[in-house]
């Protein structure tokens, strides 16, 4: 796959300056780009990197003065790069239709243009909307529903009582609907509580590779529209996750939390159970949220505190050994002072 | 699937009050329940939620005064709900027998009533007890043994030298018996140490989705009876895990630890290598255990300290910036005092 | 499989002392070894464990005085044990050739001696070097290249634009090349940025079970030669990982970091994005690296500080509640002193 620079200008709506016939076949950052690569300059600061770059062509922020190169000027170079990337590297999908070596139950309902790769299993009563793509070795349990346009990558497992919205993207190895972690313990022996609530994923959700979203106990664990979940994230049973939430890599949620819209939990953050994290709240990396967090709050720490306080605490904590020394010195000085002042005391009575 | 309330009373041994012919087809919490759902009231406090609930029928704690509803009174409403849930949502299992598109080595021994789903691979000399269920795409390596009644969900991988007890539940994507992380490093180059000890899982163990239990170096990594492991947990080589242990989501154990019976490690807790965590010990969320923990101890922190101390430390730590200010003010005051007292000193000699 | 002690002496180049005809069929540590097991004594301290051991034969450090046993003396007992382990437990691999129930695109190029297990999918234009082994249910997307001698265990997923070097070992369930986590957010709505850079793995790399290495945005995410990655590790997009790096269990790297050669990140360590961790640096367990780390530095803490300082801070932090009490007492004493000294002051003017 390759594109001429003229085609790139047309595709992105940018302004061509230079040789429109030049062809490029990859995108690369400035430092790595070769003569058949397209790269970009998104701001004045990045211009410095140009001298050393071997990039064959560039998308440059409209208004910057760059010359002696084959260029498409554009008001939003990164958006334009994304458009080019989508064109140069079209999405992978199995061919339309069901592969001979897939097992699809006759009661499953498949929409128009559905793609099912080899070694996928689609059980009874599953419903796949138009254009759904099911990767190699995916397991779709009985009764699962998947909305139109959703792409399920290889080796994903969907347990019974899972429903997925439209235009979602589920990456390889993700597991949705496995049993929540619920037990009754009697005399130290754990007895399983059935977890039958399933999982409900809204539209336009992305779920990262090998992430796990457990079934609710009685009602579904839910993930709202446009929420984006990174790799190796664990969402325990009964969580209710809002819209446009970002859960970064290895985040873990224990059970029954409410996570408001537009919350951002950065990498390796954990949330204890039965908490509310308000709309637009943010947790800094590796935070442990152990109490409710209000809307818009920024928190950090293990367990969490307000981000500003946490920064000051962390800074001060590095002086702790010194503070202990100072404290001891101070104690001695006050001891001395008291002795001196006490000595005087009798004089005055 | 649906049940009449009379059948629910019979099934749970509860006391029917109201219309026994009413049918329900789902379980749901009070706030979500619809007219064909069963919900429950487990204590006096929960009665308040009843007024707003649209639940069609209820299981109510025997002794509570609730009327005007179709009810089954029961001494343990949650247990009763579990019984109903199991009946309404029977476990999923492939049909008895080996699917045409599974690959089972002729030397593998399969007990009575074994189920093998499509695209499973069962290698030479594997032994599957009566009633074992092997999900789609599961890989059972040569020589692996699986006890009667154990359910292995889709896409699980069992390496050679893994043995699993009876009545276990292994969730999708779990990997048992991959190489432990052991290397000899010479001049900065890492050379692999073979990891041939395998994994031994006792009876009645549950292992969560995408969790990993690595093979021991020389002897098996072991997990004791009735131990329950959540999703995305990592158990390194040579760990010896006791009975009825709970390892919550994303817990990680480095190598060669002994984890006593009934230990609870909450979410994202880590344990360094070669440690003992005594019977019944508990670690609060995101704890890093870096030294031995005695039986029954409760710990928290990174690295861990006793839970009570950790709470006080964490509370005090929030005053650290203030303490530094106080300390500086105090230093100035003591400086001043010393100056004043010193001034006097000459008078007295 | 079994070996005589004479054969073990020959294999390891050790010195036989005792019955060379004795056969052993397993390796085990001293405490677990049975009469047909081989165990080892690597140092003088370990001799104490011998009295109780039922081991049938031993590899003993040359120079130690041990008798009354069937022994191979060896200057490096652990290395010798590894040699025996490799012989007794040969690696598992599917037979040479492509299984009838694998799907291999006719345009894929397979080297000599390639092994492809059942239910693997190898898409168009993939290139597999000589002796590559592809486990059951592995997905190799179009265009992926895998170097000679590399072993890919069951259920691994390789997305397009992934290349893997020679002699690598990829454990079950690992996912390479899934989309990096990159979005443009406008008015709270997240729009995907295409992630087309792929993944480049050098030679002699090991990747643990269910670990995830995401595709770069424009250029590859890279992992250098001889680097060893444990289970459930997440490597975000655009990371550039050096040679002979060790990433222990559940480590997580956000995007665009440079990790120098021979860096060691212990279990559950996290690295924020766009950082440099210099050659040979080390992070203690559960560290959060949030700023650049220099070559050879040892760090710990959330967020990180120098290891030595962190140890003192952590020690001091346990005295924090006590320090607060001391501080309050001191404040009162200084108040008193000031009152006393003030009282006197008028006298002197």
Q: What tokens appear for A2 in the block?
A: 């390759």
In angstroms, the separation between the Cα of residue B215 and the nearest Cα of chain A is 21
pLDDT cut 90: percent of chain C above it = 90
* Res. A138: pLDDT tops 60: yes
Confidence of residue B342 (pLDDT cuts 50, 70, 90): low
Q: Which of A219, A269, A345 to mutate to test the interface with B (most CBs of B within 10 A)?
A: A219
* A167 & A243 share domain: yes
- The CATH number that applies at residue B232 is 2.160.10.10
A252, A160: one domain: yes
Contact yes or no for C231 and B210 at CB 8 A? no
Q: Mean pLDDT score of chain A, rounded to an integer?
A: 95
Q: Do C161 and A89 lie within an 8 Å CB cutoff? A: yes
Q: Is residue B111 part of a domain?
A: no
**Beta strand B23-24 pairing with B3-4:** antiparallel
pLDDT-derived band at A344 (thresholds 50, 70, 90) equals low
pLDDT per residue over B69-117, tens digit each?
A: 999 999 999 999 999 999 999 887 899 999 999 999 999 999 999 999 9
Residue A349 has pLDDT above 50, yes or no: no
Nearest Cβ partner of C314 from B103, B303, B326? Answer: B303
CB contact under 8 A, A320 and B318: no
Q: Of A67, A88, A109, which one is at a domain's C-terminal end?
A: A88
Which candidate, C292, C272, C276, places its Cα nearest to that of C241? C276
Closest Cβ–Cβ partner in B119, B196, B252 for C119: B119
The number of distinct structural domains making up chain A is 3
Instruction: Give the model confidence (pLDDT) of C304-348 as tens digits.
Output: 999 999 999 999 999 999 998 999 999 999 998 888 886 554 444
- From the list B209, B302, B338, the residue facing A175 with the nearest CB is B209
A259 with A346, same domain?
A: no
Strand partners, C198: C216
β-strands C212-213, A133-134 pairing = unpaired
Cis peptide before A303 (omega within 30 of 0): yes
Quick one: A161 and A283 in the same domain?
Answer: yes
- The set of catalytic residues of A is 237
- Cβ atoms of C217 and C182 within 8 Å: the answer is yes
Using the Cα atoms of residue A92, residue A97, residue A100 and residue A102 in order, give the sign of their dihedral.
positive
Minimal CA separation from B15 to chain A, in Å: 22
Q: Which is nearest to B236 in space by CA: B295, B175, B291, B184?
A: B175
- The active-site residue out of B74, B153, B237, B304 is B237
Supply the pLDDT for residue A348: 42
Domain extent at residue A52: 3-88
CA gap C219, C256 in Å, rounded? 11
Mean pLDDT (chain C) is 95
**Residues C265 and C162 reside in one and the same domain:** yes
Whole-number pLDDT of residue B344: 52
What radius of gyration do chain C's Cα atoms show? 29
Confidence (pLDDT) at B349: 43
Cβ(A178)–Cβ(B171) under 8 Å? yes
Query: In this predicted structure, what is the pLDDT of residue A340?
Result: 86
Residues A275 and A190 in one domain: yes
- Residue-wise pLDDT for C197-221, tens only, equals 999 999 999 999 999 999 999 999 9
Task: Evaluate whether residue A110 is within a structural domain.
Answer: no
**Is the pTM above the cut of 0.90?**
yes
Is there a contact between C278 and C259 (Cβ–Cβ < 8 Å)? Answer: no
More confident residue, B325 or B112: B112
Q: How confident is the model at residue A341 (pLDDT cuts 50, 70, 90)?
A: confident
Please give the full DSSP string across C215-270, using - where no structure is assigned. PBSSS-EEE-TT-EE-TT-EE-TT-EE-TT-EE-TT-EE-SS-EE-TT-EE-TT-E
Query: What's the pLDDT tens digit per position in A23-58?
Result: 999 999 999 999 999 999 999 999 998 999 999 999
Least trusted range by pLDDT, from B344-348, C52-56, C90-94: B344-348
* Same domain flag for B54 and B169: no
Q: Which of B141, B250, B305 shows the shortest C-beta gap to C318?
A: B305
Task: Specify whether the backbone of C238 is left (phi greater than 0), alpha (psi in -120 to 50) or beta.
Answer: left
Q: Would you say residue A46 lies in a domain?
A: yes
Which position among C74, C237, C274, C304 bears the catalytic label? Answer: C237
What does R_g of chain A's alpha carbons equal in angstroms?
29
Nearest Cα to C260, choosing from C239, C238, C245, C275?
A: C245
In a domain, B149, yes or no: no
Distance from CA of B264 to the nearest CA of C (A): 19
CA distance B229 to chain C (A): 15
pLDDT digits 0-9 by tens, A189-225: 999 999 999 999 999 999 999 999 999 999 999 999 9
Q: What is the mean pLDDT of chain B?
A: 95
pLDDT at A93 over 90: no
The residues that bridge with B151 in the sheet, in sequence order, are B133, B169
Q: How many helices and strands in chain C, by DSSP H and E?
A: 4, 40
Q: Model ipTM? A: 0.95
pLDDT digits over B178-204, tens only? 999 999 999 999 999 999 999 999 999
Q: Is residue C253 part of a domain?
A: yes
Residues 6+ apart with CB under 8 A from B252: B233, B234, B236, B269, B270, B271, C232, C249, C250, C267, C268
B273, two tokens: 């290598």
CB pairs under 8 A between A and B: 192
A161 & A300 share domain: yes
How far apart (Å, rounded) are the C-alpha atoms in residues A140 and A107?
A: 13
* B327, B211: one domain: no
- Give residue-wise pLDDT tens across range C14-26: 999 999 999 999 9
Count the neighbouring beta carbons within 10 Å of the beta carbon of residue C122.
28
Per DSSP, chain B holds a count of helices (H) and strands (E) of: 4, 40
- With beta carbons under 8 A apart, name residues in chain B contacting A329: none
Rounded Cα distance between B40 and B48, Å, is: 12
Task: Determine which helix (DSSP H) or strand (DSSP E) holds B99, and give its type and residue range.
Answer: none
Neighbours of chain B (3+ CB pairs under 8 A): A, C
User: CA A153, CA A169: separation in Å to the nearest integer?
Assistant: 8
Phi, psi of C112, rounded to the nearest 5 degrees: -70, 140
Decide: residue C297, CB within 10 A, 0-12 exposed, 13-18 middle, 19+ buried: middle
Tens of pLDDT, residue by residue over A152-163, are 999 999 999 999
Chain-chain contact of C183 with A228 (C-beta, under 8 angstroms): yes
Structural tokens at position C27: 């390796």
The residues, any chain, with a CB within 8 Å of residue A187's CB and separated by 6 or more, are: none
Residues A176 and A75 in one domain: no
CB contacts, 8 Å: A212 with chain B? 173, 208-210, 231-232
Say if residue C238 is in the same domain as residue C168.
yes
Give the model confidence (pLDDT) of C251-290 as tens digits: 999 999 999 999 999 999 999 999 999 999 999 979 999 9
């Amino acid at each position: 796959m390759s594109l001429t620079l003229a085609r790139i200008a047309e595709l992105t709506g940018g302004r061509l300056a230079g040789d429109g016939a030049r062809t490029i076949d990859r995108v690369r950052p400035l430092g790595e780009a070769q003569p058949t690569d397209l790269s970009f300059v998104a701001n004045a600061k990045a211009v410095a990197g140009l001298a050393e770059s071997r990039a064959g062509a560039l998308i440059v922020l409209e208004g910057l003065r760059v010359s002696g190169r084959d260029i498409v000027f554009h008001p939003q170079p990164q958006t334009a790069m994304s458009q080019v990337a989508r064109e140069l590297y079209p999405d992978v999908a199995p061919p339309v239709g069901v592969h001979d070596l897939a097992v699809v139950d006759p009661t499953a309902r498949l929409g128009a243009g559905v793609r099912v790769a080899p070694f996928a299993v689609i059980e009874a009563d599953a419903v796949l909307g138009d254009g759904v793509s099911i990767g190699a070795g995916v397991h779709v349990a009985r009764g699962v529903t998947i909305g139109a346009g959703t792409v399920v990558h290889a080796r994903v497992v969907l347990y019974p009582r899972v429903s997925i919205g439209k235009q979602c993207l589920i990456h390889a190895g993700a597991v949705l609907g496995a049993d929540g972690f619920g037990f009754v313990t009697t005399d130290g022996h754990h007895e399983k509580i059935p977890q039958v609530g399933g999982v409900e994923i809204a539209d336009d959700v992305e779920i990262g590779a090998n992430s796990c979203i457990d079934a609710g106990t009685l009602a579904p664990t839910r993930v709202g529209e446009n929420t984006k979940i990174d790799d190796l994230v664990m969402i325990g049973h009964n969580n209710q996750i809002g819209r446009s939430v970002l859960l970064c890599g290895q985040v873990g949620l224990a059970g029954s939390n409410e996570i408001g819209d537009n919350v951002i939990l950065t990498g390796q953050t954990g949330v204890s159970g039965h908490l509310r994290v308000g709309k637009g709240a943010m947790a800094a990396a590796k935070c442990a949220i152990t109490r409710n967090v209000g809307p818009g709050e920024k928190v950090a720490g293990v367990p969490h505190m307000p981000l500003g306080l946490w920064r000051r605490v962390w800074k001060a904590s590095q002086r702790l050994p010194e503070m202990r020394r100072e404290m001891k010195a101070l104690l001695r000085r006050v001891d001395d002072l008291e002795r001196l002042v006490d000595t005087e005391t009798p004089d005055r009575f």
